[in-house]
Structure 1
Amino acid sequence: MGNIMRGSSSTGKDNTESSSKGSEDDIVVVLKDYPSPEISEPIYRMGEKLRLIAQEAYWWRVRSVQTQKENYIPNSHVAKVYHGWLFEGVERQKAEELLSLPGNRVGSFLVRESSRERGQYSLSVKHRIIKHYRIFRLDNSWYYISPRLTFQCLEDMINHYCDFADGLCCALSTPCLAGMTPPSDASPAAPPVVMRRNFDWKKIDSRQLVSTDSCSDNMVSYGVRNSIAAYLSFSGNQDPARTRAESRKKKSKSVYAIPESGLGNIDYDDNF
């Protein structure tokens, strides 16, 4: 799944046994009521989060995150969720239904992987209407929605658009259905997405980068400053001013921005 790592099952005689088991950390979301209301009162309803206990061919054994009750559900009625926001095999219409459920607010979002082509992603965001943005992938495996801004991985893309709308209908707020997961009294779960703020290097005095005084009131951590100072000493004691000027010419390792001249914010509304 792009740059996102997944666990792989073991090979050999234990392969059949390992493939029938799920992980306690695996989360799935119910895509439609089961059983159908026309048949009987549903055990699980659309949008409910379940913990995957075991995968047994067509039937998966699951435990409700809310009620802790275990039961079986057809795998066609659920979708695996990674990182709290990456939904596997969810179609466009189903994404709109999930984002329209109570508990989702403006900025609620999900990234969905195409059920027809592995590695193809779209971003769906709740605003006045549900907006969809095709996520493109470069030959070097970097991702982008607008070609003026590319990201090394999907996590970097999500973190960026949580901070800035940057051409989207709005900044991302919370993952789809995040508000429907009750807090656990035993062990509080970590939030599915870290809404981090970008560190603005432009506001840092350049002299702080090479200072190793651990007692100084410095916004840059001692470890980072010590590493920079060590690098400068091993690189032949180059002039710090010259080194800093050269480093500014280098591109970021996680975000690469193309000058905006001639490139506007592009709104991609995909059809898959």
Structure 2
Amino acid sequence: MGNTVKTPRASEETSAPSQAGQESDFLAVLHDYPSADISQPIFHVGEKLRVLSDEGGWWRVHSLTTGRENYIPGKYVAKVYHGWLFEGLGREKAEELLQLPNTKVGSFMIRESETRKGLYSLSVRHRQVKHYRIFRLPNNWYYISPRQTFQCLEDLVNHYSEVADGLCCVLTTPCLTQCTNNNTVMDPVPPVVMRNKNFNWRNIHRLEVAEDAKSTLAAMDDSCLSYGLRESIASYLSLTEDDNTSFASARKKKSQSLIYTGSKRKSALHLPPTLYDN
């Protein structure tokens, strides 16, 4: 691949990425395989594949999208280095990949010429896909505009990822980034469970409320009542505490007045005096 990056990649120039290669190296599926008219496709256009082994014209691969492992012919895939450098990809197929669903504006790829080694083009997703020829100087530096040259393609990508500098937009994410799925089974987020402990006034006697207001308030705190409602109930209990106490005292005296010993009363009825005036 020439001096497209600062670090040497001699092994990548003669072989496809392997498990020992960079994490950003993969194979991109260019056509559904097998085709839909033959059977249900195993791999679909745009899937990212990690190479497991080279079987001589066939790749044994692991899909980074579905987690599936299988074989695919070499002509159905393109080699991708650094996540954005596509090898042997034409203009038409580049546009197809950059227009896949969920592809963002600014998604890009650099593709090597199918016919001439060392010649590259930058393809960028905007309102439509834009293509820019990348020129190479005799000293092996690269440029899109002559006023700005780069020692390697990596420097070029880094520059246009910070500023458009004449391009249709800033470069955002490499093509097919959205097609990666680590297939990590995440622990499901537990649903929010509301405690159904409603405070029921019918189950509490009026005297019990007056005699044990603190317990009542504690019960309300555990009943999911709103703070405002609890404050209102607390205020009501405070205002009626004296009345409830008087009511309890009167009831107690009345019950005492109804206790008889033989035919005599143990105590007289405590009724208002006016009731005896005739």
TM-score, reference length from structure 2: 0.60
Secondary structure of the 1:76 match is helix
Does 2:21 match 1:22? Answer: no
How far off is 1:174 after superposition? 0.6
Q: Which amino acid aligns with 2:113?
A: S
Please give the per-residue CA displacement for 1:20-76, whole angstroms capped at 9, x wherever unaligned. 993354410100100000111100000000001111221111111123221110000
What residue in structure 1 maps to residue 53 of structure 2?
54
Please give the per-residue CA displacement for 1:173-197, whole angstroms capped at 9, x wherever unaligned. 11001111124649xxxxxxxxxxx
- Judging changes above 3 Å, is the alpha-carbon distance between structure 1 residues 158 and 72 closer, same or farther for their aligned structure 2 residues? same
What residue in structure 1 maps to residue 249 of structure 2?
none
Equivalents in 2 of 1:184, 1:43: separation in Å? 17
Larger fraction in helix: 2
Q: Structure 2: where are the runs of 5+ without partners?
A: 186-278
Equivalents in 2 of 1:38, 1:74: separation in Å? 17
Q: Which amino acid aligns with 1:51?
A: R
Aligned residues: 178
Q: Which amino acid aligns with 1:129?
A: Q
Contact 2:67-2:183 at 8 Å conserved across structures: no
Task: Give the alignment of 1:98-137 within 5 angstroms.
Answer: 98-137=97-136
Contact 1:20-1:57 at 8 Å conserved across structures: no
Contact 2:66-2:181 at 8 Å conserved across structures: no
Contact 2:121-2:134 at 8 Å conserved across structures: yes
Give the root-mean-square deviation of aligned CA atoms: 2.1
Secondary structure of the 2:62 match is strand
Equivalents in 1 of 2:132, 2:159: separation in Å? 15
Task: Give the alignment of 1:255-270 within 5 angstroms.
Answer: none
- Judging changes above 3 Å, is the alpha-carbon distance between structure 1 residues 119 and 24 closer, same or farther for their aligned structure 2 residues? same
Please give the per-residue CA displacement for 1:219-247, whole angstroms capped at 9, x wherever unaligned. xxxxxxxxxxxxxxxxxxxxxxxxxxxxx
Q: Which amino acid aligns with 2:11?
A: S
Secondary structure of the 2:43 match is coil
Q: Structure 1: where are the runs of 5+ without partners?
A: 10-17, 187-272
Please give the per-residue CA displacement for 1:90-111, whole angstroms capped at 9, x wherever unaligned. 0000000000001211100000
Deviates more, 1:100-109 or 1:61-70: 61-70
What residue in structure 2 maps to residue 42 of structure 1?
41
Secondary structure of the 1:165 match is coil
Q: Which amino acid aligns with 1:132?
A: H
Equivalents in 2 of 1:165, 1:20: separation in Å? 32
The sequence identity of aligned pairs, in percent, is: 61
Does 2:104 match 1:138? Answer: no
Task: Give the alignment of 1:1-272 within 5 angstroms.
Answer: 1-3=1-3, 4=5, 5-8=8-11, 22-23=18-19, 25=21, 26-183=25-182, 185=184
Contact 1:24-1:53 at 8 Å conserved across structures: no
Contact 2:16-2:79 at 8 Å conserved across structures: no
Secondary structure of the 1:8 match is helix
Q: Which amino acid aligns with 1:6?
A: R
How far off is 1:6 after superposition? 2.3
> Whose RCO is larger (CA < 8 A, sep 6+)?
1
Equivalents in 2 of 1:8, 1:55: separation in Å? 15
Equivalents in 1 of 2:39, 2:90: separation in Å? 26
Equivalents in 2 of 1:120, 1:22: separation in Å? 24
